[in-house]
Amino acid sequence: MINIRNVHKCFGDLEVLKGIDLDVNKGEVLSIIGGSGSGKSTLLYCINAIENIQKGQIIVDDIDVHAKKTYQDKLRQKLGMVFQQWNSFPHLTVLENAALAPRIVKKLSREESIEVAKQELEHVGLGDKFDVYPTKMSGGQQQRLAIARALAMKPDYMLFDEITSALDPELVGEVLDTLRLLREDGMTMICVTHEIAFAREVSDQVAFFNEGIIEEMGTPEQVISNPQKETTQKFLSKVL
């Protein structure tokens, strides 16, 4: 379970998060929507301890993410993350991309790490690409590789940061299908997304971020279909 309490985050003088409270239960899918600069991606970076916070607390399974004693490299093994830019490791084959972290971080044997990597790659539909170099693949395939690479660490949570935003429109579908697959597996996910229709379809909760605060939060029906706040309505009318 992820508990976020009154989180404040500043970049210099700019306060990007102004007191965020959120809870994500095991097996739940939370989608975060909102305009650019609303702080939604920053929150993901804070959950993963890539960014620190100035105030508040983020608890992942009883671990205080930003406490001094927390071993953040270890914590990140619990939290898989996929980014807007897929960041495939260009010097490694698809299989090596997915097998690297299990081997060097989790210290699995070479065989075990390859076994896990193959499973996850097959799961996202890249079973025929093991020996290909990622730069030879489409953006959609590379993004699915990024998902498999994160899954190979067997994380308890997955964080997705606008993972379809940099893709050509015709490639978005295959990546969203992969997310649907994860949902069926019962993976706990936080998706920062601009795909409103997708958010409505797969989410248990939707949070609408506006200028560093959660403007509106609830089920997809509440937030997307019947938004109460004017800012939410305005945002949705622009993107839908």
Partner 1 sequence: MGSLFTPLSWNDTGFILTGVWNTVIISVVAIGFGTLLGVIVGFIRAESNRLVNTLLGGILDIFRSVPLIIQLILFSTYIGAIGHPLEPFVAGSIVLSLYSMAFMSEVFRSGFESVHKSMQIAARSLGMSYWQTIFYIRLPIGLRAVFPSWLGVALSVIKDSALVSVIGYMELLRTSDQLISRTQQPLEILIGVGIFYFIISYPLSLYGRYVERKMAL
Residue 191 or 206 with smaller CB distance to partner 1? 191
Of 53-61, 132-140, 179-187, 210-218: span binding partner 1 (CB under 8 A): 132-140
Binding mask 52-91 for partner 1 (x = CB under 8 A): ---------------------xx-xx-xxx-x-x-x-xxx
Q: How many residues bind partner 1 (CB under 8 A)?
A: 27
Residue 50 contacts partner 1 per CB under 8 A: yes
Q: Tell me how far, at minimum, the Cβ of 219 lies from partner 1, in Å.
A: 29
Q: Indicate the residue among 42 and 48 with the shorter CB distance to partner 1.
A: 48
Contacts of residue 197, Cβ cutoff 8 Å, sequence gap at least 6: none
CB of 90 to partner 1, least distance (A): 6
Smallest gap from Cβ 11 to partner 1, in A, equals: 15
Verify binding: residue 16, partner 1, rule CB under 8 A: no
Contact between 100 and partner 1 (CB under 8 A)?
yes
Q: Which residues pair with 80 in a beta bridge?
A: 158
Give me the residues that bind partner 1 (CB under 8 A), please: 48, 50, 73-74, 76-77, 79-81, 83, 85, 87, 89-91, 100-101, 104-106, 133, 135-136, 146, 149-150, 153
